[in-house]
A and B are shown apart, each in its own frame.
Chain A
Amino acid sequence: QQPVQSPQAVILREGEDAVINCSSSKALYSVHWYRQKHGEAPVFLMILLKGGEQKGHDKISASFNEKKQQSSLYLTASQLSYSGTYFCGTPTSGSARQLTFGSGTQLTVLP
């Protein structure tokens, strides 16, 4: 079952902050985050493996709340280059061989 992402789309100005949420109806053991710029391949941002773990990538960070079965991606002081579609992916099974992705959040950063 697909994780649920919110919001579906967000528009912000350069320098503003944004939060993208990803929640699952089943137990989560890990969460992947990817970004896809327009016309390009999705690119891995980070993986969160433990409950409460937080990771960072430039000014993009994420948290993982195992108990609430959700993860949040935080974009701080957004840059134009942050524009794109963000996907969270969660393991389909315990083997974690395959990921099920959310429907994506389209982020547009305006000058």
Chain B
Amino acid sequence: DVKVTQSSRYLVKRTGEKVFLECVQDMDHENMFWYRQDPGLGLRLIYFSYDVKMKEKGDIPEGYSVSREKKERFSLILESASTNQTSMYLCASSLPRKTGGNTGELFFGEGSRLTVL
């Protein structure tokens, strides 16, 4: 069964702390994504990666960075957490979409709920 695992379901951090959110997938997917989910705003893309050591900014990258040293692992880093980064963070992975083949379906992890005090 395909699996995307996020290391922490719940985190509480203080303003100014450095925060690492880890995500591991076991499907050998090229693409990995970090989304942020807030009520009324849906899922907003923070960063994504289509290959090891490659990264691209999504819609809301400010205040975040990412790291992808291995194909299966994609980390989201908050260099100095702020209260407005309190949110649910969702990691996802996918294969590239191909005509007549793979749909590019996203497989999501269960999320990491971060509270910044």
* Residues of A in contact with B (beta carbons under 8 Å apart): 2, 5, 8, 30, 32, 34, 40-44, 47, 87, 89, 92, 96-104
Contacts and interface: CB of A to CB of B under 8 A. Distances in A.
A40 B96 CA distance: 24
Contacts of B35: 101
Interface of B: 4, 31, 33, 35, 40-45, 48, 50, 56, 58-59, 90, 96-97, 103-111
Contacts of B31: 97
8 contacts: A40-B110, A41-B108, A44-B105, A47-B104, A98-B45, A101-B42, A103-B42, A104-B42
Given A92-B59, A102-B42, 12 more contacts: A34-B106, A41-B108, A44-B105, A47-B104, A87-B43, A96-B104, A97-B96, A98-B45, A98-B56, A101-B35, A101-B43, A101-B44
